[in-house]
Amino acid sequence: MTGAYEFTCQYGSTHDLHARLNQLGGWQWRIGDSHWYGDYVACVPFAGVRIRICDFPAKAGNEYRYQADVKRVKDCKTAMEVIDEAFRKVLAQVPAHSVQEIEWFD
């Protein structure tokens, strides 16, 4: 697993996607800002794990394509398979589709 994803959804702004993710309950998402990636939405779903969804969604028909990455600290106890399954379940509830692994970009 690469720890990086691409997905498509109806939300065209980071703020709208942030609101939807928090509406789902469960994980607590926050908006951050990066010099390299601009605004992003991030959460800490498990101890030692950070999921970040970067701004700059690409238009895909009437929807938007986002990229996300997962960062684990060195001594993280949560297996990448568990993180992957949980993140895909959250994306399905957005709803997002065309979820696929991509090359790591951080």
Task: Work out the average pLDDT over 19-32.
Answer: 96
Task: Work out the average pLDDT over 31-44.
Answer: 86
CATH 3.30.310 applies to domain 4-101:
yes
Q: Is the predicted pLDDT of residue 33 greater than 90, yes or no?
A: no
Residue 79's CB: how many other CB atoms inside 10 A?
A: 12
Q: Is the predicted pLDDT of residue 2 greater than 80, yes or no?
A: no
Q: Is the predicted pLDDT of residue 103 greater than 90, yes or no?
A: no
Q: Is 37 or 51 the better-scoring residue by pLDDT?
A: 51
Looking at residue 10, what is its pLDDT?
97
Per domain, the residue ranges of the chain are 4-101
Task: Work out the average pLDDT over 40-53.
Answer: 96
Query: What span, in angstroms and rounded, lies between the C-alpha atoms of 46 and 49?
Result: 5
